[in-house]
Amino acid sequence: MIKPYGSEKLAPLFVHDAKERDALAAEANGLVSITVSSATAANAVMLGGGYFNPLTGYMTLADAQSVAENMRTSDGLFWPTPVLNMTDDVSAIKNERTIALRDPNVDGAPVLAVQEVTAVEEVGEDQLLGITEMVYGATDKNHPGVAAFLSQGRYLVSGPVRTLNFSYFSSDFPDTFRTAVQIRNEIKELGWQKVVGFQTRNPMHRAHEELCRMAQEAAGADGILIHMLLGKLKPGDIPAPVRDASIRKMAQIYFPPNSVLITGYGFDMLYAGPREAVLHAVFRQNAGCTHFIIGRDHAGVGDYYGPFDAQTIFDTSVPDDALQIEIFRADHTAWSKKLNKVVMMRDAPDHDKDDFVLLSGTKVRDMLKRGESLPVEFARPEVAKILMDYYQSLP
């Protein structure tokens, strides 16, 4: 199986030993605590699950600036985005060596993790905006990722982390949420050697389904990891339970048994385009994938990134020896009326726009709200029914 990123073995920060975890949880109740942002909580979940391997905790300001500028931590580790504990009030923890991190996304804000505090640093306005510009390519607060990043606070609390639980993800999505450790174990049990990873924050239509098959065939892969984001999204995106149900229905009916793993991970979407595409590749290598699909405008939002910036960053900014995972570069994929099948547009140079079945997200939503069936060339009827039920339930 492919090695994790940055180490010989995966080193998740979740405290697996039950007795040790119970003792640490009891200790945490006596520690000074802060209720962290949703993004900081998601980082603790990802550190705990092994997705951020080989990181050991939250970055310092020097690390954050180095990662933003050079995609390397201050000690030279290649890494695409800062992993931070950002807060707006550090008055209670300035002199503390160990603190408890409380979960903002669970009722009662229970302790999520325990952090050793190595530094508490204030971030200047220019420093914060500089990091934002380099990571997101923008400082415009209309960008949902920028808005979320800039809203977290002006202080960085850095240091190693020990994660005690996986927030709401394990309870709300028991059949879907998996750590990188669990996915590696499932791949091993299936006997897969080559695995294609597919990232999604949306339901999968016919084009996505066929794209997975194309990548599997091109890679000679044994199976596909459909890996959906389960955390926070921008307003208007389809909720995780609806996506989960629609993807499971599609895989159950249209893929052979034991050819697809449907899983999810506990992270809030950054919408950071190229930088997040590289981060997604790190996640999938840590989860055991040998190949990863990077599509058109991967992890993008609005018009902030070029359609293939998330692919070209692997040529311009990712060192050849940094990642072992191979990137499958996908073009926009749609049903060809001429060929009666789904194709990548780059593979159909004799087509024009009218030769494809293309529907905008707005058009799809409007049709579903009105109870109109989507074209079978665009969406499987069983998937469209789940989505229609959701849209028609909205006020």
Q: Give residue 284's pLDDT.
A: 98
Q: Give residue 361's pLDDT.
A: 86
pLDDT band at 395 (very low <50, low <70, confident <90, very high): confident
Q: What percent of the chain has pLDDT over 70?
A: 100
pLDDT band at 236 (very low <50, low <70, confident <90, very high): confident
Query: 202 catalytic, yes or no?
Result: yes
pLDDT band at 206 (very low <50, low <70, confident <90, very high): very high
Give the pLDDT mean for 370-388: 95
pLDDT in tens, 82-115: 999 999 999 999 889 999 999 999 999 999 999 9
Whole-number Å distance between alpha carbons of 264 and 225: 10
Whole-number Å distance between alpha carbons of 111 and 108: 9
Distances in whole angstroms, Cα of residue 191 to Cα of each of 51, 196, 330: 21, 14, 27
Q: Give residue 178's pLDDT.
A: 98
Q: Give residue 316's pLDDT.
A: 97
pTM assigned to the model:
0.96
Q: Give residue 133's pLDDT.
A: 98
> Of 72, 202, 213, 329, which residue is the catalytic one?
202
The number of beta carbons lying within 10 Å of the beta carbon of residue 159 is: 19
pLDDT in tens, 169-179: 999 999 999 99
Whole-number Å distance between alpha carbons of 124 and 328: 39
Give the pLDDT mean for 335-341: 95
Q: Give residue 318's pLDDT.
A: 97
Give the pLDDT mean for 217-223: 98
pLDDT in tens, 277-334: 999 999 999 999 999 999 999 999 999 999 999 999 999 999 999 999 999 999 999 9
Asked whether residue 204 carries a pLDDT value surpassing 90, the answer given is yes
Give the pLDDT mean for 111-120: 98
Q: Give residue 229's pLDDT.
A: 96
Whole-number Å distance between alpha carbons of 55 and 52: 6
3-state secondary structure the chain: CCCCCCCCCCCCCECCCHHHHHHHHHHHCCCCEEECCHHHHHHHHHHHHCCCCCCCEECCHHHHHHHHHHCECCCCCECCCCCCCEECCCCCCCCCCEEEEECCCCCCCCEEEEEECCEEEECCHHHHHHHHHHHHCCCCCCCHHHHHHHCCCCEEEEEEEEECCCCCHHHHCCCCECCHHHHHHHHHHHCCCCEEEEEECCCCCHHHHHHHHHHHHHHCCCEEEEEEECCCCCCCCCCHHHHHHHHHHHHHHHCCCCCEEEEEECCCCCCCCHHHHHHHHHHHHHCCCCEEEECCCCCCCCCCCCCCHHHHHHHHCCCCCCCCCEEEECCCEEEECCCCEEEEHHHCCCCCHHHEECCCHHHHHHHHHCCCCCCCCCCCHHHHHHHHHHHHHCC
pLDDT in tens, 250-289: 999 999 999 999 999 999 999 999 999 999 999 999 999 9
Q: Give residue 26's pLDDT.
A: 97
Asked whether residue 50 carries a pLDDT value surpassing 90, the answer given is yes
Give the pLDDT mean for 136-141: 97
Q: Is 22 left (phi over 0), alpha (psi -120 to 50) or beta?
A: alpha
Query: 201 catalytic, yes or no?
Result: yes
Domains of the chain (ranges, CATH numbers): 18-166 (3.10.400.10), 171-265+273-393 (3.40.50.620)
Q: Give residue 94's pLDDT.
A: 85
Q: Give residue 277's pLDDT.
A: 98
The mean pLDDT of the chain is: 96
**DSSP bridge partners of 119:** 158
Q: Before 80, cis peptide (omega within 30)?
A: no
Q: Give residue 235's pLDDT.
A: 86
> Of 21, 154, 201, 248, which residue is the catalytic one?
201
Give the pLDDT mean for 18-34: 97
